[in-house]
Structure formats: structure tokens, C-alpha cells
Structure 1
Amino acid sequence: MKEIHQSKTNDLSAYVAFLAVAAHRSFRSAAIELDITPSAISHSIKTLERRLGARLFNRTTRSVSLTDAGERLANKLRPAMVAIDEAIQEIEGNRDIPSGTVRINASEGAIRLVLKPVLARFFRAYPHVHLDIVSDGRLDDIVAEGFDAGIRLAEAVPQDMIAVTVMGPVRFAAVASPGYFAERGRPSVPQDLLHHDCIRFRFESGAIYRWEFERRGGTERINVTGRLTLTDQPLMVEAAMDGLGIAFVPDHLAIGGLRDGRLERVLEDWCPEFPGLCLYYPGHRHVSSGLRALITTLTSSDGPASSMMPR
């Protein structure tokens, strides 16, 4: 009986594979995360289900979901795995040289603005640290999903997290090409946008962003219309430069077009400033040496917190 119990509890890799599939709802995505083949993941899960005598996943050709038994097992295992990971990171944190894997969850824009500019310098300085960066705009619970930290706008950081500013305030700009304004005219107040082609932004949730304007304490939110809707802000800037309409984007994305004359601003005194980007992590968890090294890089004098602050 003792040997049977040990066979059920000692295969840690099977539980790691199970939690990866549970998090991604995909055998293929879990295999990518763990750097093994999908067939190895499938075999591990089948073996675990056979050992436990319970089906853990409902599988179809299009989806993977947890069964009731799988949900209960995942809820029990996640805290245990976090504790194991913290114990390992604490040992690694005692080393003089930062090392280990740091998992970061961030929106695509945050990755481009905050992480991409420092990656080469970071890896040169800390060759023993591995960064696992996941692009995600859904504002997932980083603790539940097994991340060490996230990067989001300051206003979106949960209150129970420790937040470190990694990029200053972000100001938005309404921009279009000179040719567009010559043909369609220039809006002088936000309501004028209802008579223009606006390049809309769609969140990953599917919601369309309502443009927000502020002036002298007053706020206006405009549900703009237009023939083009995108999920990528740099593409919105390119579309505006091509004369397809007015884009409303963080002004640092449009600075190149504004400098060379391919874009012009409108409604400048209406465009608001939003709190900048923060790296955040749970205060109750040990901060690994790798994460500390990343924070140091991002907040240094030549990091994005200073050099990429919009002006």
C-alpha cells in the first residue's frame, strides 16, 4: 500500500504537466511552455488519470476543459506548486549571481515599450537568468497562473500587489495624415469625431475602446465610428499615416510620424494623460534574484522608466 501511495504522489513532473494543461486549456500550448512534445504531455496526463482512477480533462477536437475532479485537483495543487517554486527561488536567491527563470505576464504594448528595449542589455548583464514572457491583454491573475510578475498600467494593478513604476505617465494623441485632414477637415471638439473615419481599437476581451477626452475638469467619452478596427496600436499609427482615418494612441507611438510630417495632431488640449506602466508582484512571496535583477534593469537611469517617458 505504501508503494502504491508513493507512485501516486512522487511523479512531480506529471503534476507540473497537468497544471500547465489546466492553465492553457491546451496540450500544445502546455508542451511549448514545458519544452516537451505534445505526445509526451498527453502520455503524462493519461498515466496520471490511470493512477488516480479519475478523468481530469474533457477533450474534444476543438477544446480542452477540466472535469470536476480535475478542477478540485488543480485547486489543491496550485498552492503546493507555488510553495515548491518559492522554496527553489529562495535558495537561488541566496546565490551571488542572479539565476533561474522569471515568468512575466504583460500586454503586447508593455512588452514592446518596457521589456524589448532592455533585453539585450539584461541578458549581457545576467547570463544565468531566463525570461519567460507571455503576451496577454486579459489582465490575468498572475498568482493563479504561476507568473512571478506582471506589467500593466498603474490603474490596472491589483491593490494587494507591490508595484514598481517602469514607465512614466502616458499621454494620448489623436493623429491623422495631412492628406486626410485636407480632405475631411480638422475636428475642433471631441463630438466632431462622430463625422470622421476613426481607426478603432478592440481589446482582447472583444470590447471596443471608447475614446476618452478631458479638458478643464470635464470628461467626454466618444464611441467613435469608422471602417477600420484593429487590435494593434502600431498598426493603427501606420493606417493613420496611410490616410485611412484618425487614430487615438499613446503619443510615443506616433512621435516618428509627427516629427517627419506624416502625421498631425488634433484636439491636443483635450488629450488626457494616464498613469504609466508598473511592474507588479505579490508582496507575500519571495522575490527571486532574477526578478530583482530585472527590476534593477528597468528602473536604472537608462531604463524605460526614464529614457522612454513620453514628452
Structure 2
Amino acid sequence: MITNHSQDDCIVFRDAAVARGGRIIWQHGDFAIPAGSVTAIVGTNGAGKTTMMKAELGLIPLASGSLTVLGKPAGEANNRIGYVPQSYASDIDSNLTAEQSVLLGLTGTRFGIHPVTRAQKAKVHEAMAFTGIADKAKMRLSELSGGLRQRVAIAQALVSDPKLLMLDEPLANLDLASQRAVVHVLARLNQELGMTIQVVAHDLNMLLPILTGAVYLLDGHPHYAAMNQVLDSDLLTHLYGTRVQVITTPQGDMFVTPSADEPEGVEQDTHAPNEVAQFHHHHADASGATNTMGGAR
């Protein structure tokens, strides 16, 4: 049964399916992702998480159904989408400076051929300031840590003032401090600018404070649900194929973790999903920092 969707929805799947090499990757996708949300795409390796994001960008055709993004068929609104690929660090010339790399978000392949305008330079500096890397402008990518390169990639995606920011495994291979810094940038983009954010993620833990919902790929079918529905031990166990618990500390911090091998009769210190939901946003960044990306909405 096709679901009714709101005009406020950012991404809308209607009985969508994707096939590659003659094999159905996922099908019967019928859901909507709200504008202004922060959504994770989760599932086991090979479930089609990156494939879903590529379908949303119009890079992979649907086998059936329809998919609209920002009110247009997939691929037709890409000029309003900022995209950060998982392979950013390896796909870009490491001899470029951070500033030059961010500028590519405006000039693309024209870099080095056409003069850079004052307005373009201002947008680059604005994006770098927002992501906290303004002081790294003249440093080459080869001199930056993985976390700083990831923030360069986000700044590059921001210079065109996107309505939707899409990131493929942005926290992969980063240390804890770098993960926190990237998540903080995403939180500010969503809270201060109202930007819709979608993240392909393997591990939810660091993202939990800012997520409003998740698309989970289960048994070949994509589903969307709010986080208090996704944070269910039985669902996550089915999703990841191993026993998973949702645990909260007395301070309300949440963790999704595999169950420990405990002797029978030992009760785990866990919380029911409705209890977890009450703690969900307890430490989301609510600082009133100045909006330095006034052009991005």
C-alpha cells in the first residue's frame, strides 16, 4: 500500500526498487524522510546503503517505483545537494591546499582556468570558518589529519549553499576526538541552519545524540522510522545478525553494543526503547553560536 507523503518531505520513495547486475538489491521502499531531519542509513555490509544514496543522487536508475529529492526526480536537484563521498581523501589531489579543495565545490573542473571571484573566496572562507578549519586554509591536504580532511570535504560540500547534505561513512577511520568534531559540525548545520542531513553509517553510537530517524535496510526492504522505534534491541539484533543491546548510563548516554556472554540468569543493565527515547536528545548541542553560514539554508 502506497503511503501518503507531505510536501514538507525532503526525500520520498514510492514502491522503489534498485537492481544491479540483474539482482535486486532492495525493493518495496515506500517511505519519506522529513525536511530538517538528521537520518542515518543503516544495515549490514552489502545491504545497499551506499547504493541508496547513489540512487537518491540519480547515479543509479530505479528498477521500479519512483524517487524524488527536494521535490524533483532523483538527480534533477543535485545542484542543491552537498555530497561527501567515503573516498574523498583518496580521490582528491593531496597537494591541494585546504582552501583550494574547498573552492572546488564552486568551480569544479574549472579550477585553475577561470579567475576566482571575491564572492567565491568569501564563500570558501565562510564555509571553512563554520567547519572550524579557517586556520588550515594554506595547509596541503597531505599535511592534515583524517579528521581535518573530513571537515575540508564538508566545507567543500557547503560552499554551494545546499538544502540537503549527504555523507557516506563520514566517521570511518577517524579517532574519537575527530569523530566528535565532525558530529559537532553536523549538529550545528542542522540546528542553526535547519539543513537536512543524511548519513550512511555502520556504527550509530557517535551519531545518536543528533539523529532524528533512520532508514534501515532489513531483509532486502528499506524502512524509515523515528529513533525511538529504531532503538529496539530485537530490531537491531535482526538488522546486524548478532545479539545487540541498547544501553544507557545513569547520565542518559546511550550505546548500541553487542551483548556480552553472560551466565544464564544474570540481568543486563539495559533500558526499554521508550526509556531510551526519553534520553535521546539530552546532550545535543544547544549552544547559541553565531550562524556564520548565513547563505546556506
Range class of TM-score, shorter chain? under 0.3
What is the TM-score when the length of structure 1 is the normalising length?
0.24
What is the TM-score when the length of structure 2 is the normalising length?
0.24
The structure carrying a bigger helix percent of its residues is 1
